[in-house]
Chains A and B, each alone.
Chain A
Amino acid sequence: MPDTTEGFAAPVPPAPAPVAVSVSEPAPELAQTLDPAGRLELPVAGEWKRVSPRYVVVEIVGTVIFGLVLCAGATALWLLAEVSWAPIVLALIVVVTLVVVLFEPRRVRSIGYQLRQDDLLFRRGIMFQRFVSVPYGRMQLIDVTRGPVARWLGLADLKFVTAAASSGVLVPGLAFDDAEALRDRLIELAESRRAGL
């Protein structure tokens, strides 16, 4: 694998706030500790394929509905049970929901996948990053599912299932035709690299 970092131009996150650092750590260590170079970044050559920008809508709808349900609960506490601290909770829920919605486009942009020679590489997350590599030969089945909002937007989710329950690679927000094409391509790749359990 060539040692070139390209393709995914991840915006450098704001420098992390200084935290208490061990006194036993030497000074250069300290400088490095606060260096953004600590970011996880795989040196992969290929281009990261992105999910559809429309997927942001699906995420936002989900977040807003969840926020509304929580708000309803807090409001019920406030008005029916007359709990005095309920308005604070309500305000907190609204603020958190707004912040999550604001970051939603950024989170969706962080989802990416690559079809490499022998495996599928998947990434997601900004704060909590996660990279998964699944060899094609390990795929047991591929699921294509569509939720109501996603169907309205013409999107589908694609899920790769291996014998390990924890693999859990779910590529959301693919245009429906793309999802079907990707599924067929992956099945073809898996067939040609069939392996046992």
Chain B
Amino acid sequence: MTTLADGEWHRLHPASPLLRGGLFIVAILGFIISNLRERLIDFFFHVPTYGDDPIDELFRRGAVGWALLGVVVILVVILVAFYLSWRMHTFRVSGEVVEVRSGLVFRSNRRARLDRIQGVNIVRPFIPRLFGAAKLEVSVAGQDANVHLAYLGSAAADALRRDILHLASGARAAAALPSDAAPDAAAEGEDWVEHAGTRAAGSALGPSLGSAIGTAAGGIAGGIGGFATDRAHEFFAPELDPDAAPPESVVRIPPGRLIGSVIFSGFTVFVLIAIAVLIWSVSAGGSGWLLIAIFPGLIGSLSFYVNRFTKSLRYSIAGTPDGVRVGFGLLSVSNETLPPGRIHAVRVSQPLIWRPFGWWQVRINTAGHSTNKGAAGEAHTTTLPVGTLADVARVLELILPGFDSDSGSENGREKLLVDHGVRSPGGDDGYTNAPRRAAWLRPFSWRRTGFTVAADTVLLRRGFVSRELTLVPLARLQSIAIEQGPIQRMLRLAKLRVHTVAGPVVATLPVIDVREGERLFERLSAGAISSARADTSHHWADPGHPLNRAMPDRPAQTLAPAAEAAL
């Protein structure tokens, strides 16, 4: 446990205001430099300048002193504002809540209850990452309800996340979590917290200088050189700390496949159509306005490809003791930890264009929504942007404990069901499928449209052209609806909807035999209640509530008997 999570108030990284307002400062600097371009050329290369500019005017009027005074006043105001904003921005992490106080004129105070945490996200945008700073975001359910800590020292952020998750897990009895990185992180955390006073003066002088002062306080030996080496080490360190997760639970995406998935996407089809239209219009002797309309967009699409690619590079999904960790990014790095039981629905899908390659995508619904964009600029709901079936099995095992990958175990049935769910064309394969008369409504996919219930999870299979399988843990299910319109009544069919929190995954079974549908409705409503009662994932590591079946070092938990009876 580091000093940051001791329930006392702490301050953020001293350079936080600068990093938060960093873009603004850079913009001003850029403006000044571009305006003084000729002066700088003159200064360095002795090329005389021509014409008047504001500085000549200042010289002529003898107002250099006033101008310098103005600059100094502005600098002092900025420094004081930064200092006060840093000084007033405090946070604390206690056994129950994460709390942040900020603001000088408009005070704000925000608390998040630890047992309601939906995920903890650490983002390192490119510039703050150069300075060894990171942003920590605690997501809780609700719109714009997240708690932000921007910025913290990079290692301190990692340590604080570990502590928050540890406190939230309810495993307070077993506080001695073996961790190699924790002591170092604690040391760094203490370093800047304790020296806050000494650093206060230099707080706005820029992170490198501020840290340099800190280092100097500890011993001049290191100095700026040591700081630079540290930053370089951090920058080139692997995205996923090898100690953080057992390597067998890590799923990665090879760059080749990533490029393929970006190229073979719906967007490419769109671009190709645009190009075809363009060629047709030019060859048909069009007036050229179409060229003007479409061509810039085509050039812009190139940057889309590059962007998606760099943002998804170094993608990794791993199981850690406190949940699934999803990390990605080449320059700006982001990684999110989702504690167990925070995933409300999962969809495994395959667009038609990916079928020859055997690639699949996994998306999830969660109650908390990070404000930062996820990989590939999508929301944080894409857990696996592209992967093979083996990857899918491993990801499912991580995000839905109980869907183990090794088919020899007692969970072999679930693994088989997932396999059938995504690949089987239909038939007698463990799923209850729609009857033949459903072909009136679903001419292609009726064979595959079906459901099954396994390991406290309902699996809904659908889609023929683009195949998809939706999994909803019964303990997370919010409500169930069954519907029937006049045409479905004539065909003795019904439609079943499983309601989960909002997200990209919509769990519906468009057609099912009406009697089967009624039975499934009753079964799910009973199963949802018993699963919710047996669910303890709000304190997932509470002693006496062994959960988290995903972790290899913890014993696999058998189904709650009540839930099994209900199903």
Chain A residues near B (Cβ < 8 Å): 1, 13, 16, 19, 22, 24-25, 29, 32-35, 37-43, 118-119, 121, 127-135, 137-138, 162-167, 169, 193, 195-197
A133 in contact with B480 (CB, 8 Å): yes
Q: Check if B367 sits within 8 Å of A197, measured CB to CB.
A: yes
Q: List 5 A-B contacts (CB under 8 A).
A: A38-B490, A38-B514, A132-B481, A135-B479, A163-B141
Q: From residue A7, how far is it (CB to closest CB) to chain B in Å?
A: 15
- Write out, one digit per residue, whether chain B residues 255-268 have a CB within 8 A of any chain A CB (1) or not (0): 00000000000000
Do residues A196 and B486 form an inter-chain contact, with CB atoms below 8 A?
Answer: no
B205 at the interface (CB under 8 A from A): no
Is the pair A34, B479 in contact by a Cβ cutoff of 8 Å? no
Taking CB atoms, residues of chain A closer than 8 Å to B190 are none
Residue B373 at the A interface, CB < 8 A?
Answer: no
Task: Pick the interface stretch among B101-109, B146-154, B169-177, B494-502.
Answer: B494-502
A38:B489 contact, CB within 8 angstroms: yes
Interface size class of B (residues with CB under 8 A): 35 or more
Which B residues are within 8 Å of any A CB, using their own CB?
115-116, 118, 141, 341, 344, 367, 436-437, 439-440, 476, 478-486, 488-494, 497, 499-502, 514, 517-518, 521-522, 524-526, 528-529, 532-533, 535, 537-538
Residues of B within 8 A of A163 (CB): 141, 367, 478, 501
Residues of B near A43 (CB, < 8 A) are 518, 522
| Docked pose: A165 CA to B528 CA in angstroms | 18
Question: Is B526 a contact partner of A195 (Cβ separation < 8 A)?
Answer: no
Q: 11 more A-B contacts (CB under 8 A) besides A33-B437, A128-B483?
A: A22-B437, A38-B488, A38-B491, A40-B494, A43-B518, A129-B484, A135-B529, A137-B533, A166-B499, A197-B141, A197-B344
Contacts of B492 in A (CB 8 A): 32-33, 35, 37-38
Q: What is the distance, in angstroms, from B276's C-beta to the closest C-beta of chain A? A: 38
Q: A16-B486, A41-B518, A163-B501 are in contact. Are A25 and B532 (CB under 8 A)?
A: no
**CB < 8 Å A-B pair total:** 131
Chain B residues near A197 (CB-CB < 8 A): 116, 118, 141, 344, 367, 476, 501
Known: A22-B437, A40-B517. A196 touches B479 (CB 8 A): no
Instruction: Report chain B residues within 8 Å CB of A196.
Output: 115-116, 341, 532, 535, 537-538
Contacts of A195 in B (CB 8 A): 532-533, 535
Query: Do A167 and B484 contact each other (CB < 8 Å), given the known contacts A35-B492, A38-B491?
Result: no
| Shortest distance between the CB of B511 and any CB in chain A (Å) | 12
Contact of B479 among A38, A42, A128, A162 (CB under 8 A): A162
Cross-chain contact B518 with A42 (CB below 8 angstroms): yes
Closest to B491 in A: A33
Q: Are B502 and A165 in contact (CB under 8 A)?
A: yes
CB distance from A101 to the nearest CB of B (A): 20
Give the chain A neighbours of B344 by CB distance below 8 A: 197
A119 touches B529 (CB 8 A): yes
Q: If the complex has contacts A132-B479, A196-B535, are A25 and B501 also in contact, measured as CB distance less than 8 A?
A: no
Enumerate chain B residues within 8 angstroms of A134, measured Cβ to Cβ: 478-479
**Distance from B440 Cβ to chain A, minimum over Cβ atoms (Å):** 7
Q: Which residue of chain B is the closest to A34 with respect to CB atoms? A: B490
Contact B489 A138 (CB under 8 A): no
**Complex: how many Å from CA A24 to CA B437?**
9
Inter-subunit contact B521/A131 (CB<8 Å) = yes
Task: Assess the A162–B525 pair: CB atoms within 8 A.
Answer: no
Q: Is the CB of B518 within 8 A of A40?
A: yes
In the bound complex, residues from chain A placing their C-beta under 8 Å from that of B518 are 40-43
Q: Which residues of B contact A121 (CB under 8 A)?
A: 525
CB-nearest residue of chain A relative to B499?
Answer: A164
State whether A137 touches B437 (Cβ < 8 A).
Answer: no
Are A40 and B532 in contact, CB atoms less than 8 angstroms apart? no
* Contact status B500-A164, CB under 8 Å: yes
Cβ contact of A118, chosen from B116, B499, B529, B535, cutoff 8 A: B529
Smallest beta-carbon distance B545→chain A, Å: 13
Residue of A32, A134, A193 with most partner-chain B CB within 10 A: A134
Q: Given contacts A33-B492, A135-B525, is CB(A130)–CB(B482) below 8 Å?
A: yes
Please tell me which one of the listed residues A25, A119, A132 contacts residue B437 in the complex, with CB atoms under 8 A apart: A25
Cβ A40 vs Cβ B479 within 8 A: no
Chain A residue contacts of B485, Cβ below 8 A:
127-128
Asked if residues A135 and B522 are in contact (CB atoms below 8 Å), the reply is: no
CB pair A127–B482 under 8 Å, yes or no, is no
Question: Are B514's CB and A40's CB within 8 A?
Answer: yes
Whether A16 contacts B489 in the complex (CB less than 8 A), given A41-B518, A164-B499, comes out as yes
In the bound complex, residues from chain B placing their C-beta under 8 Å from that of A39 are 484, 489, 514
Which of A25, A119, A164 is packed against the most chain B CB atoms within 10 Å?
A: A164
Residues of A within 8 A of B118 (CB): 197
What CA separation (Å) do A109 and B497 show in the bound complex?
A: 24
Give the CA-CA distance A118 to B525 in the complex, in Å.
9
Residues of A within 8 A of B491 (CB): 33, 38
A170 to chain B, nearest CB (A): 13
Among A19, A33, A164, A193, contact of B478 (Cβ-Cβ < 8 Å): A164
The residue on B at minimum CB distance from A13 is: B489
**Cα–Cα, bound, A42→B480 (Å):** 13
User: In chain B, what residue has the closest Cβ to A38?
Assistant: B492
Q: Across the interface, do B437 and A40 meet the contact criterion of CB distance under 8 Å? A: no
Decide if B486 touches A29 in the complex (CB within 8 Å).
no
Cβ of B524: which chain A residues have Cβ within 8 Å of it? 133
